[in-house]
Structure 1
Amino acid sequence: MADLNVLAFAGSLRAGSYNRALVRAAQALAPAGMTITIFDLAEVPLYNGDVEAAGDPPGVARFKDAIRAADGVLIATPEYNHGVPGVTKNAIDWASRPPRQAVLDGKPVAIMGASPGITGTARGQSQLRQAFEFTNSYAMPQPELLVFRAHEKFDAEGRLTDEATAKFLTAFLEAFAVWIPRFR
């Protein structure tokens, strides 16, 4: 396998977020040849067309540069009120600009998520896949990674402790390593 550089981010700003913990676990479990770099969305302000017209803010410019340099993008999204949370959607909104020239155009992406709920982040992930139709991004269809009852799978320090979830995350990352080169 050729070296793959993957940019990962969690669609949560909370320090103790299960999705931040899931991204760190992915970084630790990345298959040989895959390097995962984590971007903190705290640098990315709310999307505003007036701000964009004046030029991307520094955090947005860094985010877009990181996506541009990556072979693929790994997203860990929470689910709030049966949908994509604002932090995740805001990041995608910035990365989708300008239309037809966005850094997400033609970019392979993988979506995962962790939630205390029993359905994981299924609805949020489904909505996010719809956004990637507009950005012309290639969302990996299978396997899906829906970490449900996340409070039972991570310890107080945010370390993944559930062996079955770690095995599935490893398989998910291996599938992403096969998915990415299809679009080079």
Structure 2
Amino acid sequence: MKFVGIAGSIAEESYNRKLLTYIASKYQGVADIEILSIADVPMFDRQKDQTQGAAIQYLIHKIEAADGVILATPEHNHTLAPAMKNVIEWLSFTAHPLQDKPVLVVGASYKDQGTSRAQLSLRQILESPGVGALVMPMDEFLLANARTAFDAQGNLKDQNTVQFLTKVMQEFAKWVKVLRAMKHPEADDAWQQEDLTASHPTETTVDVPMEADDWVEQAAAKTNAVDGKTYVKLDRGLLTVDQLNLFLNSMAQELTYMDENDQFIYYNHFLDRDEMLAPRYPHQVGDPMAAVHPDRAKDHVKQVIWALRNRQSDLIKMAVPGNKINEKWIMHYYKAMRDEAGTFRGINEWVLDIWPIVADYLKRTGQALVKVPGAQADTGGSASVKDTGATSDTTDAGASASVKDAETPVNPEPDTGASASVKD
């Protein structure tokens, strides 16, 4: 998404411009945010229309091209600053770029109350006939005591303030998406836009040939990636790279990571390909998703990724074709990964055979699987992605089986001591 920001001040040292600069830097993952200058905007004069002048046209074109607008207002004498009011006069005279445009209002001030009165006044103006902006109606961000709120690098110092601002930015991004969806309803085949060729690099994309068999080695060399006994600081832990590999490779399921550019960049390589539930070759790491799936599966892959990327679902579950009750039940799980700003950062897939878990439960509890009379197998529901049509092929009819007390018990006595065994 593309946002533009306008600070309602022409002062050389503006805390509202400083706030916008911080927002543009901190929330690059939410949107590309460009800060617009209003220094050259002339004083509004109805008798001398300068709407076609360069300064006003610059603002008009930038706003029209943006998905949303962030206005940072100072507070002067319990209302918004003249510079901000002047800009809105020009943007509601003969041109109306703010009409139906999503707008977020924020503000910074020297005092304890933030810019509450200025924001209220600005909201009333923005929602008035002739302006017609769509101001986000949820949380307000009021930065008080602006003189001491930033550190020497221009970052907000108080983490509670940062967390609240993050929440506000996430809500604004949702507000923009909702309004856009209402104005331009998503087509049934919108998932076709998902690009499995990984041709839209992100800030974490490594510039080496994606389909190179030694992609991992090339990418590691290019990024000076750490390995061996070098420590990595994690969210709540400190591990060496060797420990991290041991940890991931000891997981009870196969793990795969696809980034937001639809590039396959990791799997926990603890089994040879022929022993895996979802076989993969080491040389496939680094490939675009289009290169690791057969043509017959690519539409389905697009549907799943599109649904997770666009919040149609956060978790998609599906059983593989050919599963058989009492033998195996292999499940694929796809989980959307998002950063603290709510931005999509890829998909975590895990694959496991859940039958050994079910069998162990039945053994320990003395229960059995029985067919529910009249029940129909849910042959695709577990893989459903709302209305995207992303469903699995077919699953075994045994999926309708229920864990109940067996009428003819297979295991008449619970395995009451199995949990204490350190041998079996």
Q: What TM-score do the two structures reach when normalised by structure 1?
A: 0.90
Judge which range, 72-81 or 173-182, deviates more: 173-182
Q: Aligned equivalents of 2:103 and 2:144: distance in 1? A: 21
Question: Per the alignment, do residues 33 and 114 of structure 1 end up closer, same or farther by CA in structure 2, a change over 3 Å counting?
Answer: closer
Q: Deviations over 1:41-82 (max 9, x none)?
A: 102111112221x65221111011111111110011000000
- Name the counterpart of 1:115: 109
Cα distance, 1:182 vs structure 2: 2.2
Partner of 2:27: 30
Residue-by-residue CA offset, 1:125-170 (whole Å, 9 max, x unaligned)? 0000111122111101111000111112123564422322222222
State yes or no: 1:40 paired with 2:34: no
Taking structure 1 as reference, are residues 157 and 57 closer, same or farther at Cα in structure 2, changes over 3 Å only?
A: farther
Percentage of matched positions with identical amino acids: 36
Instruction: Answer yes or no: is 1:20 the counterpart of 2:14.
Output: no
Which residue type is aligned with residue 112 of structure 2? I
> Cα 1:49–1:182, aligned 2, differ >3 Å: closer, same or farther?
same
Structure 1: distance between partners of 2:92 and 2:80: 16
User: Is the Cα contact below 8 Å between 1:31 and 1:173 reproduced in 2?
Assistant: no
What amino acid maps onto 1:91 in structure 2?
A: V
Structure 1 counterpart of 2:173 = 177
Relative contact order: is structure 1 or structure 2 higher (C-alpha 8 Å, sep ≥ 6)?
1
Q: Which runs of 5+ in 2 are unaligned?
A: 181-424
Partner of 2:388: none
**2:3 maps to which of 3, 6, 12:** 6
Select 2:157's aligned residue among 112, 137, 161: 161
Once residues 15 and 164 of structure 1 are traced to their aligned partners in structure 2, the CA distance between those partners, rounded to angstroms, is 28
Change (3 A) 1:56 1:126: same
The alpha carbon displacement at 1:176 in A equals: 0.6
State the alpha-carbon separation in 1 of the partners of residues 39 and 75 from structure 2: 18
Specify which of 55, 73, 77 is matched with residue 77 of structure 1: 73
> Between Structure 1 and Structure 2, which shows a larger proportion of helix residues?
1
Alignment partner for residue 122 of structure 2, among 120, 125, 128?
A: 128
Closer, same or farther in 2 for the Cα pair 1:14/1:182, shift >3 Å?
Answer: same
Q: What SS does the corresponding residue of 1:49 show, helix, strand or coil?
A: coil
Does the 8 Å CA contact 1:31/1:170 hold for their aligned counterparts?
no
* Counterpart-to-counterpart distance in 1, 2:29 and 2:158: 22
- Assess if the C-alpha contact under 8 Å between 1:41 and 1:91 holds in 2: yes
2:397 matched residue in structure 1: none
Q: Is the 8 A contact 2:136 2:172 kept in 1?
A: yes
Q: Between Structure 1 and Structure 2, how many residues are aligned?
A: 178
- Could you tell me which runs of 5 or more consecutive residues in structure 1 were left unpaired when the two chains were aligned: none
Give CA-to-partner distance per residue, 1:15-41, whole Å, 9 cap, x none. 221101100011012152411010011
Q: Is the 8 A contact 2:110 2:146 kept in 1?
A: yes
Partner Cα distance (2:150, 2:96) in 1: 35
Structure 1 residue 177: deviation in Å? 0.3
The residue identity in structure 2 corresponding to 1:107 is: K
Asked if structure 2 preserves the Cα contact closer than 8 Å seen for 1:105 and 1:136, the reply is yes
**In the alignment, what sits opposite 2:58?**
62
Deviation at 1:117, TM superposition (A): 0.8
Report the AA paired with residue 26 of structure 2: L
Contact 1:31 / 1:174 at 8 angstroms: preserved in 2?
no
Aligned to 2:86: 90
Q: Is the 8 A contact 1:16 1:158 kept in 2?
A: no
Q: For the structure 1 residues 57 and 157, does the alpha-carbon distance in structure 2 shift closer, same or farther, using more than 3 Å as the test?
A: farther
